[in-house]
């Protein structure tokens, strides 16, 4: 980092610098969840299936994960101000391209490019954020802020975009994100001096070959997780060839890493048992965190909440995340045992899933879910930063970029796996419960006739004539069956997640070397471009 020239102009107040960094970082984080902010609206706009929209999000994630090891070379070569300007201009152009296209292949390409450019912007913002935190605990504080924002990104993006989706076509969200990019970017460019935030290194021997092996492998992995069930897995040649492609690319990628003097990702990081245990915890956290989507689906599918009301309710979850991230950072700074922090965090998630298991009902008040949503946010907020600090601190500092890159891969893989599991079990459990309930219904059953009569009278009270009401009543009954099937599926899935949490807590108690890993609090720069 340049010592002669300050990063920002000397007359700029500190509060304005921090506000500007936050103003740039916020839309960058929101861009991640933009494609799935409203899946129904997106499928209608593009004429696509929900799986296509989920895949567009994984493509974005795959590009970010694959470009992370390569990005640090660009960050260290180009002056930060110019590098930021290049990334932001390209990001605006690509996002504007997203706004104008209705073609899925073009959207997929744009999302891939957005992930690459997001990697650069995030790297700059994280480094600037760390530079403004002058205490010896900048690492914990910086990561707590960043990962708290990541945990809030889904709910916050959906809350901000819900009114726009109601009044405009879906693609207006990309125009909105452009408008949110510009003010912070212009302000940051005006405040910064021309400096290098990292030791300047030339751009030679860039390992593009490893990137070209790694990126397609991640995309194929996401393709299998999203479309595997739709294409009946190994019964479809596309899935078979995708698996073969993953195996081929992985073998060549690993061989290449062992044969290079400066590998894309150091394979030696996998020799650390604490590092592997941290990856396991991170993966489990993403599986557990992914089940939260069932709660939001329950609000809309069963309780009939519109998107705006749903995401207004989720603001309580955001509050819980912010409180949990603050508490966890404070506990790490105070050097409290990591086992204690993790056990408390997973216990809070267990309380959330257990309470929701009993709260899933066909009718409920919004106020009922405020406390569980806060508890869920507390649990997730308390776990994210300590786990990531543990992972990075489990390897030598020289390998922390590789540890960070592997961590991004684990986040990507388990995020996709969580989506795949929810897609699978939603069909598996819902189909089983719907068939069981349908088998118990008979036309000669007096209870059935009474239920149909109730629906018919309700329709008549709304102005329908008796004949129309009689025709529509069976449809209402079928809808009620589907709601009950969803409730049963949600309870079954949350029961499985509860068991997983108990297993994870048992592993934490039984693992002896957790508290032997010392969290590195001296190095104020982020471990890599992004995590």
Q: Give the domain ranges of the chain.
A: 1-205, 208-261, 265-530
Residues 6+ apart with CB under 8 A from 72: 123, 198, 401, 528, 529
User: Residue 524's pLDDT is what?
Assistant: 45
**Is 108:56 a contact under the CB 8 Å cutoff?**
yes
Tell me how far apart the alpha carbons of residues 243 and 237 are, in angstroms, rounded to a whole number: 10
Give residue 499's pLDDT band: very low, low, confident or very high (50, 70, 90): very high
pLDDT at 441 over 60: no
Matching fold, domains 1-205 and 265-530: yes
* Tokens encoding 351: 């309380």
The secondary structure of residue 8, as a DSSP letter, is: B
Of the candidates 504, 421, 4, which has an alpha carbon nearest to the alpha carbon of residue 229? 421
Alpha-carbon dihedral 121, 123, 127, 129, rounded to 10 degrees: 50
Q: Which helix (H) or strand (E) holds 244?
A: helix 237-259
Measured distance CA(466)–CA(473) in Å, rounded: 10
Place of tokens 């891939």: 112
Confidence of residue 137 (pLDDT cuts 50, 70, 90): low
Chain centroid, CA 249 distance in Å:
25
List beta partners, residue 8: 192
Question: Is residue 118 within 8 Å of residue 64, measured between CB atoms?
Answer: yes
Q: How far is CA 311 from CA 3, 133, 175, in A?
A: 46, 32, 21
Average pLDDT rounded to a whole number, residues 72-77: 77
Q: Is 18 helix (H, G, I), strand (E, B) or coil?
A: helix
On the CB side of 286, CA atoms within 13 Å amount to 24
- CATH number for the region 265-530 comes to 1.20.1250.20
Asked if residues 180 and 27 have their Cβ atoms less than 8 Å apart, the reply is yes
Average pLDDT over residues 257-286: 88
* Residue found under tokens 């329950």: 298
Rounded Cα–Cα distance for residues 222 and 233 (Å): 13
Top CATH class, 1-205: mainly alpha
The reported pLDDT for the residue numbered 2 is: 43
pLDDT digits over 329-358, tens only? Answer: 888 888 888 888 999 999 999 999 999 999
DSSP 136: T
Taking the model in full, what pTM does it have?
0.87
Min mean pLDDT across 78-82, 100-104, 109-113, 522-526 is at 522-526
Q: What is the pLDDT of residues 4-40, one digit of tens each?
A: 677 788 888 888 888 888 888 888 888 887 877 778 8
**What integer best gives the mean pLDDT of the chain?**
82
pLDDT at 436 over 70: no
Can you tell me which residue has the tokens 């059953």?
445
């Amino acid at each position: 980092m340049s010592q002669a020239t300050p990063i920002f102009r000397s007359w700029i107040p500190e509060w304005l610098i921090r506000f500007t960094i936050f103003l740039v970082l916020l839309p960058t984080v929101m861009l991640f969840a933009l494609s799935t902010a409203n899946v129904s609206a997106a499928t209608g706009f593009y004429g696509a299936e929900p799986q296509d929209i989920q895949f567009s999000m994984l493509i974005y994630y795959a590009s970010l994960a694959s470009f992370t090891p390569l990005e640090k070379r660009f960050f260290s070569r180009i002056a930060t101000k110019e590098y930021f300007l290049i990334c932001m201009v390209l990001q605006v152009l690509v996002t504007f391209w997203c706004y104008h296209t209705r073609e899925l292949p073009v959207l997929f390409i744009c999302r891939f490019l957005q992930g690459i450019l997001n990697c650069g912007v995030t790297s700059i913002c994280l480094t600037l954020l760390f530079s403004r935190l002058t205490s010896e605990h900048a690492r914990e504080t910086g990561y707590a802020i960043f990962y708290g924002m990541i945990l809030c990104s889904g709910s916050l993006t959906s809350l901000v975009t819900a009114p726009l989706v109601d009044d405009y076509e879906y693609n207006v969200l990309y125009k909105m994100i452009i408008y949110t990019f510009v003010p912070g970017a212009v302000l940051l460019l005006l405040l910064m001096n021309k400096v290098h935030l990292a030791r300047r290194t030339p751009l030679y021997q860039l390992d593009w070959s490893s990137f070209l092996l790694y990126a397609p492998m991640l995309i194929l992995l996401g393709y299998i997780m999203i479309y595997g069930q739709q294409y009946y897995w190994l019964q479809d040649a596309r899935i078979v060839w995708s698996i073969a492609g993953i195996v081929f690319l992985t073998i060549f990628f690993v061989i290449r890493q062992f044969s290079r003097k400066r590998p894309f990702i150091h394979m030696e990081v996998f020799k650390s048992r604490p590092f592997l245990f941290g990856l396991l915890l991170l993966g489990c956290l993403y599986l557990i965190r992914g089940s939260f989507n069932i709660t939001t689906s329950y609000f809309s599918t069963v309780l009939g909440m519109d998107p705006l009301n749903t995401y207004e309710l989720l603001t309580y979850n955001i509050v819980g995340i912010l409180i949990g991230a603050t508490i966890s950072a404070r506990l790490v700074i105070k050097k409290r045992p990591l086992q204690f922090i993790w056990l408390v965090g997973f216990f809070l998630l267990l309380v959330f899933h257990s309470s929701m298991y009993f709260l899933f009902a066909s009718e409920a008040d919004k106020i009922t879910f405020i406390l569980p949503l806060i508890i869920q946010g507390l649990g997730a907020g308390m776990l994210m930063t300590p786990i990531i600090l543990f992972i990075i601190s489990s390897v030598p500092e020289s390998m922390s970029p590789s540890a960070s890159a592997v961590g991004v891969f684990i986040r990507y893989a388990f995020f996709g796996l969580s989506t795949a599991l929810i897609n699978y079990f939603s069909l598996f459990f819902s189909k089983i419960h719907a068939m069981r309930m349908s088998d118990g219904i008979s036309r000669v059953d007096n209870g059935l006739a009474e239920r149909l009569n109730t629906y018919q009278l309700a329709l008549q009270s709304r102005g329908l004539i008796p004949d129309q009401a009689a025709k529509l009543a069976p449809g209402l009954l079928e809808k009620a069956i589907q709601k009950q099937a969803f409730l049963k599926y949600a309870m079954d899935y949350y029961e499985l997640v509860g068991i997983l949490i108990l297993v994870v807590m048992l592993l934490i108690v039984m693992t002896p070397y957790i508290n032997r890993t010392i969290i590195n609090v001296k190095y104020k720069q982020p471990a890599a471009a992004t995590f």
